[in-house]
Structure 1
Amino acid sequence: MLRLLTGLFKIAVVSLITGAGLSAFDITAADILADLGLTPENVLDLLQRGAAWAVPNIVLGSMVIVPIWLVIYLLKPPRG
């Protein structure tokens, strides 16, 4: 768990430094999106459609995987 938090902290620090550097050159997120031919509304729509597709599939998959994992976990010999 500590490694995960350390990794997330490093990503946050590097992102902050990169954002400050880009801001110094007057580059905004809207400029980068415009260069890619996207708008913030398009990105939000893509995220919503992706979540609408992913959530039902995650739930469906977990209905199969979780019981299998539970049976395997219960049938494992105890550690000693």
Structure 2
Amino acid sequence: MPKITPGTIVKLLIISFFVGWGLSVLDITPLELLRGVFERFDALLNWVSRSLGEIVSYVLVGAMIVVPIWGVLYLIEWSRQRGK
């Protein structure tokens, strides 16, 4: 783990000052920034949950066709092997 030197702290303070100044110029407060981040994260989670919901529904609808066909083929193969 690298050591935190006074030079690193000074660099972080300088960068923080310029970022804070830039946000101030753009009239963005820390609360607005956090709110925006959480809104984007919430929108992303909603999109993922909707997408997964659609995927699950597609899988279930497809399984209504695929699983019975597979079951019949499995039973046919099982009966062939049993008869040997």
Q: Which has the higher contact order (CA 8 A, sep 6+)?
A: 1
TM-score, with length taken from structure 1: 0.46
Larger % of helix: which? 2
TM-score in terms of structure 2 length: 0.44
Larger radius of gyration: 2
